Chains A and B, each alone.
Chain A
């Protein structure tokens, strides 16, 4: 995810994607700077499986429909940067949490799903980088309103934070980033804990 691609007017991730998929045989979602169906086409042809769009979808919601029509809604991930503005009220931001849009997150997600978004990557701007745990109320508010998969992101400090969200909300998946980058946990450890708690994680054999 090139979070600041729109901010800097930066372009395609195709080269990074091509390099990344070289020996990787699991799904990859690419986000950052996807502004048109052509941009989406290019990253998908480079080996991505899905595109995540935030800024351009807010600027031009029809892009959601265009991408979904062309590649299927399963390919069109709506990335949402949610910033809390009131009790149980969040506003959608763009440009990596920098720009306000005035859009209510729950309303925007519902509308986007209606337009063809097949999956939601929901990031709490307030929690991102804090390691204070996921925003449970935000996850509840969104998952109770839409029938497409929701991936929770932003705020994971420990594996327990992920388990908490899985137990208390209807999220379908959790995105781990800095907990892995800074080696506070390994994928194997996360998998073991989550399985022990009775949740479904891929049963894979080591190559």
Chain B
């Protein structure tokens, strides 16, 4: 079997090398590109991301990648957004003013609460390892990208904003910060988003990338 092909979108923001190494470690044939024609021909796409939402969208629009991503979505091409890449999948974000996103999943990106459920102050950004739990509408995640990970698997997160899907069915897994649920994995058909960094989450994260390559 030939190596699964993945296009890693280069929109000038992001930890490209780490994601590439993670995917290659899982056996992928990775192409890093910002070329729209190449992106259009992708079998699978990863949208990475470190940065701010507005800047990310601006780069996607300037490079015409937003249209290419919509085209891929219409063809039901598997698309994985990581961290900011996940947030960009949503309709809009409140980071540094309201910015429109790619709109592949309905919902908005909002600040992480700086207060715990007991009203204690919480540090934001949240930086660290957290355990994943199935979202409220489900008891397991066997049919999802998390299927190789057990409930409670820890992943590495670094973020100040979080996605809030409008449709609860789009929520796969959450983690708890100060008792508050934070969306960790979302999906809508071919579109998947991970708030954590699978390429920085040790074996647990590599399991997620491997599952994506099977789609």
Do the two chains bind? yes
Taking Cβ atoms with an 8 Å cutoff, the residues of A that contact B are 18, 21-23, 25-27, 44-50, 69-75, 118-119, 147-149, 172-173, 202-205, 207
Contact in complex: B15, A47 (CB < 8 Å): yes
Compute how far the CA of A69 lies from the CA of B121 in the bound complex, rounded to whole angstroms.
Answer: 24
Compute how far the CA of A75 lies from the CA of B202 in the bound complex, rounded to whole angstroms.
Answer: 20
Contact in complex: A47, B121 (CB < 8 Å): no
Contact partners of A73 in chain B: CB under 8 A: 125, 160
21 contacts between A and B (CB under 8 A): A18-B17, A21-B21, A25-B205, A26-B200, A26-B201, A26-B202, A27-B197, A44-B50, A49-B50, A49-B200, A50-B158, A70-B55, A72-B52, A72-B84, A74-B160, A75-B50, A118-B125, A148-B124, A172-B123, A173-B128, A204-B203
Name the residue on B nearest A202 (C-beta).
Answer: B129
Q: Is there a chain A Cβ closer than 8 Å to B174's Cβ?
A: no
Compute how far the CA of A21 lies from the CA of B123 in the bound complex, rounded to whole angstroms.
Answer: 28
Taking Cβ atoms with an 8 Å cutoff, the residues of B that contact A are 13-18, 21-22, 25, 50-52, 55, 84, 96, 114, 121, 123-125, 127-129, 131, 154, 156, 158-160, 197, 199-206
Our count of residue pairs bridging A and B at CB distance below 8 angstroms stands at 107
Compute how far the CA of A26 lies from the CA of B51 in the bound complex, rounded to whole angstroms.
Answer: 18
Contact partners of B203 in chain A: CB under 8 A: 25, 204-205, 207
Compute how far the CA of A205 lies from the CA of B173 in the bound complex, rounded to whole angstroms.
Answer: 20
Contact partners of B50 in chain A: CB under 8 A: 44, 49, 71-72, 75
A67 CB to closest chain B CB (Å) equals: 10
Name the residue on A nearest B51 (C-beta).
Answer: A71
Contact in complex: A47, B18 (CB < 8 Å): yes
Contact in complex: A74, B17 (CB < 8 Å): no
Name the residue on B nearest A172 (C-beta).
Answer: B123
CB contact between A47 and one of B17, B84, B125, B160 (< 8 Å): that residue: B17
Compute how far the CA of A16 lies from the CA of B50 in the bound complex, rounded to whole angstroms.
Answer: 21
Contact in complex: A25, B123 (CB < 8 Å): no
Compute how far the CA of A72 lies from the CA of B18 in the bound complex, rounded to whole angstroms.
Answer: 18
* Listed residue (B14, B17, B22, B201) with the most chain A CB atoms within 10 angstroms of its CB: B17
Contact partners of A23 in chain B: CB under 8 A: 21, 25
A61 CB to closest chain B CB (Å) equals: 19
Compute how far the CA of A49 lies from the CA of B75 in the bound complex, rounded to whole angstroms.
Answer: 32
Contact partners of B51 in chain A: CB under 8 A: 70-72, 75
A173 CB to closest chain B CB (Å) equals: 8
Contact in complex: A25, B125 (CB < 8 Å): no
Compute how far the CA of A205 lies from the CA of B205 in the bound complex, rounded to whole angstroms.
Answer: 12
Contact in complex: B202, A25 (CB < 8 Å): yes
Contact partners of B17 in chain A: CB under 8 A: 18, 21, 45-47
Name the residue on A nearest B152 (C-beta).
Answer: A203
Knowing A47-B18, A49-B197, A204-B154, the reply to whether A72 touches B123 (Cβ < 8 A) is: no
Query: 8 closest pairs, A vs B, by CB?
Result: A74-B125, A47-B17, A202-B129, A74-B158, A47-B18, A27-B200, A71-B51, A207-B203
